[in-house]
Structures are given as C-alpha cells and as structure tokens.
Structure 1
Amino acid sequence: MIPPGKLFLIAGEASGDSHGAHLVSELKQLLPNLECRGLGGVKMAQAGVQLIHDLTKEAVLGAGDVLRKYFTFRSIFYDALQAVESFQPDAIVLIDSPGFNLRFAKKINRRFPVIYYVSPQIWAWGGRRIHTIRRTVDHMIVFFEFEADLYRRKGVPVTWVGHPLVGQMTPSKRRDELRSEWLHNGSDETKVVALLSGSRRTEVERILPEMLRVAKAIDTRRPRVHFFVSESPTLPPELYERIIQKAQPTYPITRTRNLSTDLLFASDFAMVSSGTATLEAALVSVPFVILYKTAWSTFFLGRHLIQIPYIGLVNVVAGRKIVPEFIQHEVRTETIAQEAAYLLDHQDLREKMILDLKAVQTKLGSEGASRRAANVVVELIQKTVRLP
C-alpha cells in the first residue's frame, strides 16, 4: 500500500497563514490523501491542516513583545516538538516567522526533511541567519529572484516560485461598483483613502492612531475625502472601534473587514504599514506611502543591524525608493499629509508612481506560485516515502 504522505507545517502570522493555506490547497490537489498537522491560523485550518495551536493569535512585533509572551511561546514550541515526534511527518514546512521557525529547525536537527517557505529577510539582516539555514534547512522556496541568487551563492538548495499574490488580487466587483456601494452614490470627485495598519495587535495599536492623525490633517487640507480602515480578520473588531473612538474623527470614515483587495482596488491613495500589504498595493497600482512605528528598543536594535536603506518590500524589490517611507521619528503628521495631498491631486506624480509600481509587478513572477511551491514539496515527499 502506498503511504499517503504526512506534512507538519508552522506559520506564525496572518500572512504566513494565508500562504500556508494556499500551499496546502494546492498540495491536496496533487496528493488528495496528504495528512497535514501543525501550527497556523484559521485559513490553514480551513484548508485542511489539523492545528495543534493557532499561532497567529500570538503574533508579536519587537523584542519587548516577545519577552512578554516568552512562556506562551515556550509552551507552544515544545508542544509542537512533541507533536512532530508523535506524528512522524515525511517533511516539515516552515513558513516565514524566523524567530520561531529557525529555532525549531535547529531543534529538529535534520531528523526530518525541512522545507522553508517564505524566506527570512536575510538580505536585510546580514549573513547571521543564512548559516543557520544552511545547517538546518534542506530546501528553500522563495518569492523573490534576488533571494534565490543569494542562497545559491551561499550553497543553499533553493527554488524561486514567484509571489503567490500574483493572480490572487482579484476584486469581487468592478471598481466603479465598489465605489458606488461604499460611497453610497457619492460625488465622483470624492477621493477614497485606505488605511492598512497591519495584522499584529501591537502594530495596529501603534500605527493606526498615527494614520488617523494624518487623516485628520488631510481632511483639513482638501474637501471630499472618505477614509476606509482595513481591519485584519485575525484581530477583534473592538480593537479598531476603541482606537477610532479615541481619535474622535470629524471626517468620513468607514471600517471594512477582510476586504483589503476590494478596498485597494477602490482607492485613490493608501497609507500602508510595511510588509506584504506594500506588495498588495503595488499589484493594484494604487499610489501609497509607507508609515511604520515600532517599540523604540526594537527600532534602535534594528537600525544597527539592518543592512538595507528601506523597510518596504516594494522598495526592496524595486532596488530604490519608489514609495515614500515614514519610519519611527519620521512619522510627522503634517509631512505625511502634505505628501498624501500631492499624490491625491498631482496627476504627474501619480502616473510616475504607478509606472514604478508596474515595473515592480514584473519582478514578482507569474501566476501560480503556490502550485509551483507545492510541486517542490511533493518532490521532497516522494523522495522520502517513495510515492510514484
């Protein structure tokens, strides 16, 4: 009898949960009887992963947050190790979250084949992590071609599959229909501004209040702007309600939940925290700025360790700053509001940024990244359990 194959997967954040869910869905088409267990979130569970813990609920930002949840992470970590020993998977797939996953890979110590999906940002943090990866990971699956080049130079087996967002950013309706519905048939001159403040609680608590202050400043500069807050489905609605109520907005503002793709398609401009959301905005060619704040301890540590001049993925992929970044002490309400007003009202600036964003799109690969990643995983499982 041919064994069906068993995988253990770990994803620690909302974006990793989404990537993991798409990967598992593709794997199930290739290996219908594949059994999957691990750590993840709601989307991975819906895709067929039997969860040991919902790790996405514990997502943190910065060293201080990690310390506060140390014992929680320690308990989950050892529960996962015990689950692996009991499950005896044919391979382990680690998805992003290097703080957790690289420690896990070291603890596994090559007793099981390890595939790392969504590379740690070794190009930002220097070469320290790549030595751990070379010792503990059997194969890297990466989103960006420059990552694959880097790993090859370091002797790490790697496959570039492109970014899974390519082909996934499809709105539920036409842009004019979305705007008509959300603006309640308002004026065609009304501008839609999206606020995407991240998927971690601490991130939203630090960044969304700053975005709301900028929104107030924009509202005083120009009429007919409607602001939309994009809520992460992994965070409670009460969090957003509390932050917005505290800001006491006097301008039009609407909350949307789990509709970031529709919102970006309908928007004229966006304020975005760093991370995957910058690529989402790039893929729909909406002009935007990056606004980011973290704990000062994390910022000072990162400033000395990070070896690239940008934090926004869209700028990293472009190889230059095509989208303005306002980081930490640079988060000044009036400065950002002025930049936003320029990008809302000056067509030449908008067109230049849109052209730059379209150039980034060409570097993200073609549609079907999740299927290509699944093929890599299946090849390794075939070697392990001798599937035909």
Structure 2
Amino acid sequence: MSAHRIYMVAAEASGDVLAREVVEEIRKKAPAVHISGIGGDELASAGIISPIDVSPLSVLGFFEGIKAYGDVVKLADAAADAIIADRPDVVVLVDSWGFMLRVAQRVRLRDPSIRLVKLVGPQVWATRPGRAKTLASVVDHLLCIHDMEVPFYEPYNLATTVIGNPAISRHVEGDGARFRRLNALSETERMVLVLPGSRSSEIKRVAPALVEASHILYKRDPSLRVVFAPAKNVAEQFSQAFPGLQDWALVTSQAADRYDAMAAADLALACSGTVTTELAMQGTPMIVAYQTGWITWALARGLLYKREHITLLNIVSDDQEIVPEFVQTRQKPSLIADKAWAWLSDPSALPQQKVDQSIALDRMREGDRDAAEIAASVVLEEAAKHAAGLIAS
C-alpha cells in the first residue's frame, strides 16, 4: 500500500506556523507520508514549497476583504487546481475562514472523496454562529481550540476535536537575560516591547498609534529602552513606514529573538492577536490596541460581534477586561501612553498584572497534549479513512 498523501493549505503567518508544526508531528508519527502544500516561509522551512503566492491574502476586515475579493477567488481556484493535481487523501485547511471556505467548496465539488479537515474554526462563539452550519456542509472534521465551540457544531453532526490553544502548546521559555545582554540593556533598565502586528493592514492602522505612544513614553523618560519587534513578513513595510526609529529605539524582526524579547520586557504594547497569548505565556504585562476599517467596525458592533472585548484573555475571563484594550475610537496614543506610564510608575501595578494574566491563561489550557500533536493524529486518521474508502469502492 502506498503512503498517505496529505496537503496543507495556510494563507497567513500564524496559520503558516501552525501548519509547519502539524507537518513536523505528522512526520514523527508517519515518516513515509507524502506532504505537499500551499503556504509561506514556515512551510517552506519544512521542505514544502508552495506552488502559488498567497501573500495577497494578508488583508484584514470585511470591507478590505471585499476589495481583495478578486484575488481571493483567483487564489482559491489556483489552490483547488494544485490540490486536485496532487491527488491527496486529505486536505488540511488552516485558519483564514473566507479563503479556506472557497477552497473547500471547490475541492468538494471536483473530488468529493478527498477528506477535508479545517484546522481552527471560525469564531462562532463570538460572531456569526451560522458559520457552523456552513462549515459542516463542506468539511469532514473540525479541529477547534476551545470546548465552548463544540456545541455549535453538534446539531450538524460535524466531527469535532478540541486541540487546545496552539500558542500555549508551542510555549518556549524566553531568555530575557540573553536578549538584554546581546542588546546592551542592563538588568535594571526598564524596557517596553512594541509588537505592531503581523498583517499589512495592522501596520497601517495599528502600528502608528503604538509607535507614537511609545515615543511619548520615551520623551517622558529617555532612560526607557523601547524595542520594536514587527513580524518578519511585515518587517520591510514597517521599516519603510517608520524611518528613523533607530534614533531612539531598537528594531528587530529576528524570529529567534521573539520570545527572548518578550521575556526581557517590563511591559508590552501589542496589536491584538495570537501574540497576546504568547506574551502572557512569558509573564509579560501588556496593553492591547486594535483598529479596523469603519465599515467593518460598524458591521461587527452592530450585527456580528457578541462580546465586549476582543482579547482572548479577556473573553475567557467572563468578558472582563483583564488586559487593557484601546480599540477603534479609543486607540489614541495619549491614552495608551498614559496607561503604560501609570503602570511603569506604580511598583505594584506590573506584578499584579502578571498575576491577573496568569489566572486568565490557566482558563485557556486544554489538557496535556500539544495542539499540533493532536491535530496530526486526526489528520492521519482522516487520511486512513480516505484510503479505506478507495479500497472499499
């Protein structure tokens, strides 16, 4: 019997990381398996070279998505062509709801025998619970992050496995002392880490407020060390948008420094996203900012989003603000800087924030197995089902 054939599809930076982690776990369990895929640098580092460029999918928000709709359709068509040509047993569609839905629909139409697995589901618990029915109609198995997602899919008989939060599973203890030593920061110097986002739209909409807020802090206390760590995929865009930062701050986009920088920081100013969980894992107090297009925001607040907060640490804390959020109209540099300055000026504030975040983090944990390892097991099971179906037929 020939080895199973698996096809990974990842469209954005965070999904690319998770896809690579699952690939590594699959290879541990089944070294002979054949894996192809569509993705970015992370999958490429695992030897999986993408036949198409998915970088145009780095959009954010409903209105921005509409403007990129032509790209989404063309790439979904190209992805389906590549998948059908590869003839896999199972396709794993990682995150990126709109794009992956279109890919799933096209693959299902052209070859219904291929098993389709969605890795990370849409946030049905926060917006659009109707997406559960839509997803159940086009995929065979959902790998979701939280127990609270499962009941949404039960009425539609979609096989669902909870894998836990990948950011928690991939935790690497950062070496703060190493980061400080390599960057000539003493143990006593206070450091503010700025994480401006991983998407092009975040660099445009969120980064300016975080840059200005951190500069306000620096002007109040020039001894404060400010470090910017944009994601690698937007590092060039960030440097072009904000020239001259090296005059008063350190800028690094080295992936190897990421967790060390988090561990070294006294406080982080961050764009909302997976990075907030990563910061909490390093015990780093944080303040979160976020802004999207106004049409997107109006639709979300008026029709779609059912929670008061957007940061997962806050949502799992009964929708209470454990982590301060400065979102949309409140994303003002002065407000962010004032909150940060208050924390930096109060000896008890940052230690208490670490405690609060740790309590919230404990509520996000799901068992002892790594998310990628659980996902890999399910993917291999689905591949075996496809092979068994072919034999039976």
Residue 268 (1) aligns with residue 266 (2): yes
Question: Alpha carbons of 1:7 and 1:329: their partners in 2 closer, same or farther (altered >3 Å)?
Answer: same
Question: Alpha carbons of 1:204 and 1:323: their partners in 2 closer, same or farther (altered >3 Å)?
Answer: same
Sequence identity (%): 26
Write the mapping of 1:196-345 to structure 2, written as runs, cut at 5 A.
Answer: 196-235=195-234, 237-245=235-243, 251-258=248-255, 259-304=257-302, 305-319=304-318, 320-345=320-345
Aligned partner of 2:129: which letter?
G
Counterpart Cα distance in 2 of 1:297 and 1:39: 31
- Please tell me whether the aligned partners of residues 113 and 386 of structure 2 are also in contact (alpha carbons under 8 angstroms): no
Q: Counterpart in 2 of 1:180?
A: 181
Q: Counterpart in 1 of 2:381?
A: 379
Aligned partner of 2:143: which letter?
I
- Please tell me whether the aligned partners of residues 116 and 140 of structure 1 are also in contact (alpha carbons under 8 angstroms): yes
Report the CA distance between 1:154 and its aligned residue.
Answer: 5.6
Aligned with 2:193: secondary structure? strand
Counterpart Cα distance in 1 of 2:155 and 2:340: 41
Counterpart Cα distance in 2 of 1:329 and 1:211: 14
Question: Alpha carbons of 1:148 and 1:282: their partners in 2 closer, same or farther (altered >3 Å)?
Answer: farther
- Please tell me whether the aligned partners of residues 216 and 249 of structure 1 are also in contact (alpha carbons under 8 angstroms): no
Q: C-alpha offsets along residues 186-228 of structure 1, whole Å, 9 cap, x if unaligned?
A: 4x43211111111111211221111111012212333421111
- Please tell me whether the aligned partners of residues 207 and 273 of structure 1 are also in contact (alpha carbons under 8 angstroms): yes
Question: Alpha carbons of 1:111 and 1:381: their partners in 2 closer, same or farther (altered >3 Å)?
Answer: closer
Aligned with 2:243: secondary structure? helix
Report the CA distance between 1:278 and its aligned residue.
Answer: 1.0
- Please tell me whether the aligned partners of residues 208 and 243 of structure 1 are also in contact (alpha carbons under 8 angstroms): no
Aligned partner of 1:58: which letter?
L
Q: Which of 168, 171, 180 is the aligned partner of 1:169?
A: 171
Counterpart Cα distance in 2 of 1:373 and 1:333: 40
Q: Counterpart in 2 of 1:355?
A: 355
- Please tell me whether the aligned partners of residues 77 and 106 of structure 2 are also in contact (alpha carbons under 8 angstroms): no
Counterpart Cα distance in 2 of 1:231 and 1:368: 26
Aligned partner of 2:350: which letter?
R
- Please tell me whether the aligned partners of residues 76 and 102 of structure 2 are also in contact (alpha carbons under 8 angstroms): no
Aligned with 1:240: secondary structure? helix
Aligned partner of 1:275: which letter?
G
Counterpart Cα distance in 2 of 1:270 and 1:292: 14
- Please tell me whether the aligned partners of residues 90 and 116 of structure 2 are also in contact (alpha carbons under 8 angstroms): yes
Aligned partner of 2:123: which letter?
Q
Report the CA distance between 1:367 and its aligned residue.
Answer: 5.0
Counterpart Cα distance in 2 of 1:231 and 1:250: 17
Q: TM-score, normalised by structure 2?
A: 0.90
Q: Counterpart in 2 of 1:15?
A: 14
Report the CA distance between 1:284 and its aligned residue.
Answer: 1.0
Write the mapping of 1:123-202 to structure 2, written as runs, cut at 5 A.
Answer: 123-152=125-154, 155-171=157-173, 174-182=175-183, 184-186=184-186, 188-202=187-201
- Please tell me whether the aligned partners of residues 164 and 367 of structure 1 are also in contact (alpha carbons under 8 angstroms): no
Question: Alpha carbons of 1:214 and 1:347: their partners in 2 closer, same or farther (altered >3 Å)?
Answer: same
Q: C-alpha offsets along residues 322-343 of structure 1, whole Å, 9 cap, x if unaligned?
A: 1011111111222111111122
Report the CA distance between 1:257 and its aligned residue.
Answer: 2.8
- Please tell me whether the aligned partners of residues 8 and 84 of structure 1 are also in contact (alpha carbons under 8 angstroms): yes
Counterpart Cα distance in 1 of 2:344 and 2:220: 11
Aligned partner of 2:164: which letter?
G
Counterpart Cα distance in 2 of 1:283 and 1:32: 31
Q: Counterpart in 1 of 2:115?
A: 113
Cα RMSD after superposing both structures: 2.2
- Please tell me whether the aligned partners of residues 166 and 367 of structure 1 are also in contact (alpha carbons under 8 angstroms): no
Counterpart Cα distance in 2 of 1:81 and 1:104: 6
Counterpart Cα distance in 2 of 1:154 and 1:222: 57
Counterpart Cα distance in 2 of 1:225 and 1:3: 60
Report the CA distance between 1:261 and its aligned residue.
Answer: 1.4
- Please tell me whether the aligned partners of residues 36 and 50 of structure 1 are also in contact (alpha carbons under 8 angstroms): no
Aligned partner of 2:359: which letter?
A
Counterpart Cα distance in 2 of 1:169 and 1:359: 17
Q: Name which of structure 1's ranges 203-212 and 161-170 shifts more when overlaid on structure 2.
A: 161-170
Q: C-alpha offsets along residues 341-380 of structure 1, whole Å, 9 cap, x if unaligned?
A: 1222323332332122212332223352211110111111
Q: TM-score, normalised by structure 1?
A: 0.91
Report the CA distance between 1:70 and its aligned residue.
Answer: 3.0
Aligned with 1:122: secondary structure? coil
Report the CA distance between 1:100 and its aligned residue.
Answer: 0.6
Report the CA distance between 1:52 and its aligned residue.
Answer: 2.2
Question: Alpha carbons of 1:85 and 1:177: their partners in 2 closer, same or farther (altered >3 Å)?
Answer: closer
Aligned with 1:380: secondary structure? helix
Counterpart Cα distance in 1 of 2:155 and 2:288: 31
Aligned with 1:231: secondary structure? coil
